[in-house]
Chains A and B, each alone.
Chain A
Amino acid sequence: MREQIDGKAIETIVETIEVASLLGRVSALRAAGWRIVQILGISTDATIELSYSFGLGHEMRVFRFNAAGEVSVPSITPIFPGAYLYENELRDLFGVQIQCISVDWLGKVYDVAADRPFSRIKVTLPSSEGGRP
């Protein structure tokens, strides 16, 4: 996706990556002065696709990968501490397993009636003890 701002071409670059390279790629962006914009989940019948968006001025870069089933995703909160709300949302609404979130509501950030309401695939998370922190 490309747009012109004041005569300058601004692009949103979407790049498919491996889960294993997530932290390294995000660290590199942080070192280059990028900020976190959002984390997006999209559920299909077979998988859950995650898109991590980062911004620098008007530019946006998106890292995308699949995170269904047993795939465990490392938290990016050690790099971008403000990402914990996005990560808890993914866990609540999609059932994505995200490890070591700095502020972890253990799947109870949203008080919703349905279990993993945004997920079209059945996900079983490890049981969590206790309630809201």
Chain B
Amino acid sequence: MSASIEHAAVVRRAPGPTTIPFGPQHPVLPEPLHFDLVLEDEKVVGVVPQVGYIHRGLELLIDKRDFPDYVHVAERICGICSFMHGMGYCESVEGLFATIVPDRARWLRTFWCELERVQSHLLWLGLAADALGFENLFMATWRARELVVDVAEETAGGRVIFGSAIVGGVSRDPDDETLKRCLAAMRDVRAETLRLADVMIREPTVRHRLDGVGTLSHDDAYILGAVGPMLRASGHDYDVRSRNYAAYGEIEWKSVVETAGDSMARALVRIREIEQSFAILDRVVATMPAGPVSVPVRGMPPKGESWVRLEQPRGEVLYYVRSNGTRQLERFRVRTPTFANIPAMVAAFKGSSLADVPTIALTIDPCISCTER
């Protein structure tokens, strides 16, 4: 054997990092997302994320639709936070026109935003339970979620795509009796949800899988641009609802913050937000003002631009529109929460065990349809 061949054989046998592909198809991922995990033994020492499997280019459709019609496209960016996408687009166009939306429309928007937050967090809770091996908990959580979606259908008209956001207000006006009846119907859901969540977070095996796992430090969360529960679980009290859009400025609520920064902290933020959203729903219905639910928005949008930020279930989302004075806007941009959270997710993976990667990914609650709008 020549010296060079012998040397090559030694190099091939030398220990070193191993790269393991994770995704794009994986049992814990409802949508395609890929990571190249660089491992030393079982420890993750490097991560290269890969998105881009389902990019649809929905933003490009903005100059091919009349501005009131584009709300139907915006709602279809994502099936989990569809109402908020529609509402965010509407708010940004209303910013161009300087439209003042009627009070009842603002309250109804708040109602549907919180309803959407509850169903999204319940969807996450079920997925998390399934990934942790609690299939009964998964089924019980999604059964509870089904009743919340029923309320969405009864009040807004749609179970997945609510279809009730329009530029200038909302298109549906459920009467006060219907809203109170829906709240009463959800009372059992609320109690059952909190009981299920309590079972989950007290379970020793769950605590073992989540406590101290996938920790994102206070500083990293901020510098990497994390948003939503991911940011608040690392000790930052930043919730865009405090911008007082819709009716949040007139309804008492408080952002949920945890400080540990680990997977359990992210889970606790979402669980406590479910409870909080139910409380906000109570207050919204109790203080719902009477009156119209929309104002007409006619004519050409003025030239200019408008920025709007909302708090979706996964965190801050930013909408941008630019008008050139025609009925087809020049540009629509949405920066979704998962898009902002991917660098922070990569940081949370580093230092963890390979076996913990799926649960860490779930506690970030990624939404790839939003990311690849």
Chain A residues near B (Cβ < 8 Å): 1, 3, 5-6, 10, 12, 30, 35-38, 40, 42, 53, 57-58, 60, 80-85, 92, 103, 105, 108-112, 117-118, 132-133
The listed residue (B48, B225, B331) touching A103 by CB distance below 8 A is B48
Q: By DSSP majority rule, is chain B's interface helix, strand, loop, or mixed?
A: mixed
Given contacts A1-B306, A60-B307, A133-B48, contact A37 B318 (CB under 8 A): yes
Residue B97 at the A interface, CB < 8 A?
no
Determine if A80 and B318 form an interchain contact, defined as CB atoms under 8 angstroms apart.
no
Determine if B335 and A38 form an interchain contact, defined as CB atoms under 8 angstroms apart.
yes
Determine if A117 and B52 form an interchain contact, defined as CB atoms under 8 angstroms apart.
no
Chain B residues near A (Cβ < 8 Å): 36, 48-53, 55, 57, 59-60, 95, 222-226, 238, 240, 242-244, 249, 305-307, 309, 316, 318, 320, 322, 330-331, 333, 335, 339-340, 342-344, 372
Given contacts A36-B225, A37-B335, A84-B343, contact A1 B307 (CB under 8 A): yes
CB proximity of B202 to chain A, nearest CB, Å: 34
Q: By DSSP majority rule, is chain A's interface helix, strand, loop, or mixed?
A: mixed
18 A/B residue pairs, CB under 8 Å, sorted by A: A5-B249, A6-B249, A37-B318, A37-B335, A38-B318, A38-B333, A42-B322, A42-B330, A57-B238, A58-B242, A81-B224, A82-B225, A92-B52, A105-B50, A112-B52, A117-B60, A118-B59, A133-B36
Determine if A111 and B335 form an interchain contact, defined as CB atoms under 8 angstroms apart.
no
Given contacts A58-B242, A82-B343, A118-B60, contact A37 B225 (CB under 8 A): yes
Find chain B residues with CB under 8 A from A132 CB. 50
| Residue in B52, B57, B226, B342 with the greatest tally of chain A CB atoms within 10 Å | B52
Q: 8 smallest A-B Cβ distances: which pairs?
A: A82-B343, A82-B224, A38-B335, A110-B52, A82-B225, A110-B55, A36-B225, A111-B52
Find chain B residues with CB under 8 A from A60 CB. 307, 309
Determine if B331 and A42 form an interchain contact, defined as CB atoms under 8 angstroms apart.
yes
Question: B330's closest neighbor in chain A, by CB?
Answer: A42
Determine if B244 and A35 form an interchain contact, defined as CB atoms under 8 angstroms apart.
no
Question: B221's closest neighbor in chain A, by CB?
Answer: A35
A130 to B193, CA, bound (A): 50
Determine if A112 and B224 form an interchain contact, defined as CB atoms under 8 angstroms apart.
no
CB proximity of B222 to chain A, nearest CB, Å: 6
A37 to B223, CA, bound (A): 10
